[in-house]
Amino acid sequence: MEHYSTRDPVSLSSQAIVKKIGNQFDTVLVLGQRIRELKAGHAAMVNQGNSPLSTAMHEIAADKVDRTWLKRQPPEYTQRRRNTR
């Protein structure tokens, strides 16, 4: 297991994030879902990051977000409304 330091910005790389999630495709899905949640007003689980992307990456690096995020029930804002005409 790699050591993650919140004070060392070099330790936060996209390659390290992909390694933690497992593959690049799931990483994109996890980051996308978490970024949408952060933009919708969900609280960040770490105090790092200047943007939703960097915050989501820090959350993955700190083991606060992982692959299981994909199996969660999607938040309301991602569910599509059906046309009831």
- Per the prediction, the chain carries an average pLDDT of 80
**What pLDDT, on a 0 to 100 scale, did the predictor assign at position 1?**
46
Question: Can you give the pTM of this predicted structure?
Answer: 0.72
Which are the contacts of 40, defined by CB distance < 8 A and separation ≥ 6? 75, 77
CA torsion 72→27→38→57, rounded to 10°? 130
CA angle (64 as vertex; 67, 72 as ends), nearest 5:
45
- Taking residues 5-16, report their average pLDDT: 66
Spatial CA neighbour of 57 closest among 17, 20, 6: 17
**What pLDDT, on a 0 to 100 scale, did the predictor assign at position 60?**
94
- Taking residues 27-50, report their average pLDDT: 91
- Taking residues 43-49, report their average pLDDT: 89
**What pLDDT, on a 0 to 100 scale, did the predictor assign at position 69?**
84
Map out the domains of the chain with their CATH numbers: 14-71 (3.90.940.10)
